[in-house]
Amino acid sequence: MRKAWLGWTLLGAPALIAAGCATYPDQATTRQIAEKMVSEDYSAPTPALLKRLVQDKSQQICSKIGGAALTPAETDEVLKLARASIKYPASGKLVGDWKAGDTLAHDGAGDRIQGGRLEQRKENGGLCQNCHALAPGEINVGNVGPSLTGYGAQRGNSEAIVKYTYEKIYNAWAYFPCSNMPRLGATGHLTPEQVAHMVAYLIDPQSAVNRK
């Protein structure tokens, strides 16, 4: 009697599972399914451009579901990789022309892919205005990031501030691992010279950002 009961149960359990008691896949399976989608579901004019979808090590760490916290080891790794990525302008000058930086800061275009073509302009825009308040009185500015109004007026333009500002724009993750801010210089969206112009835009006492 007992044996028969056991027999039926052993038969029944796998049948139940096979019948599809569907459930959430585990993390590894999800990753496999999703990465396969990413590799198949986009088009670009060249294979090189498709590589934009491939994550680097830092991006992989910084893609935690639900905004979960980093472990100390992960924090260290992102910081280390970010600091190692920083490149300075060939001239060694970290402060460029604030007027050029002003133009860049308000330019949200460049390097987008549409209709099988890459948006190629003289240079990529800095995208700053999308997320940051800049010169006082400007209305059409975002608030995803903190206000930069009066940046230089508040901090001065010591060598330390200049270096910090340059590095923060070049690779924000060198100071705030997994920050929402793009690693503009490190990912190649902006050149070191462009970053220097933006430093000037923030730091220069004459810059519109520091106007009263």
Shortest Å distance, C-beta 5 to another protein: 30
Contact mark string toward another protein, 150..189, x via CB under 8 A: ------------------------------xxxxx--xxx
* CB contact at 8 A, 45 and 117: yes
Which one among 6, 10, 17, 37 touches another protein, defined by CB under 8 A? 37
Q: Which amino acid is at 12?
A: G
CB neighbours of residue 109 within 10 Å? 11
Which residues does residue 118 pair with via DSSP β-bridges, in sequence order? 113
In angstroms, rounded to a whole number, what is the distance separating the alpha carbons of residues 34 and 50? 16
Site for another protein (CB under 8 A): which residue of 43, 120, 159, 212?
43
| Binding range to another protein, per CB under 8 A, among 75-83, 124-132, 151-159, 192-200 | 124-132
Any contact of residue 67 with another protein (CB under 8 A)?
A: yes
Helix (H, G, I), strand (E, B) or coil at 101: helix
* Nearer Cβ to another protein (41/159): 41
Query: Residues 124, 189: contact at Cβ < 8 Å?
Result: yes
Q: Does 19 bind another protein (CB under 8 A)?
A: no
Contact predicate 199/95, CB 8 Å: yes
Tokens of 25: 């896949």
> Does 120 engage in binding with another protein (CB under 8 A)?
no
- Picking from 140, 139, 92, 123, the residue whose alpha carbon sits closest to that of residue 194 is 123
Closer residue to another protein (CB): 4 or 15: 15
Q: How far apart are CA 189 and CA 183, in angstroms?
A: 8
Interacting span for another protein (CB under 8 A) from 2-10, 55-63, 69-77, 84-92: 55-63
First to last CA, the chain: 92
Query: What is d(CA 97, CA 110) in angstroms, rounded to the nearest whole number?
Result: 21
Residue 130 sits in the site that holds another protein (CB under 8 A): yes
Among 70, 86, 113, 153, binds another protein (CB under 8 A): 113
Regarding 1 and contact with another protein (CB under 8 A), the answer is no
Binding of another protein by 122 (CB under 8 A): no
By CB under 8 A, name the binding residues for another protein: 20, 22-25, 29-31, 33-34, 37-38, 40-44, 49-50, 52-55, 59, 62-67, 108, 111-114, 116, 127, 129-131, 139-144, 180-184, 187-189
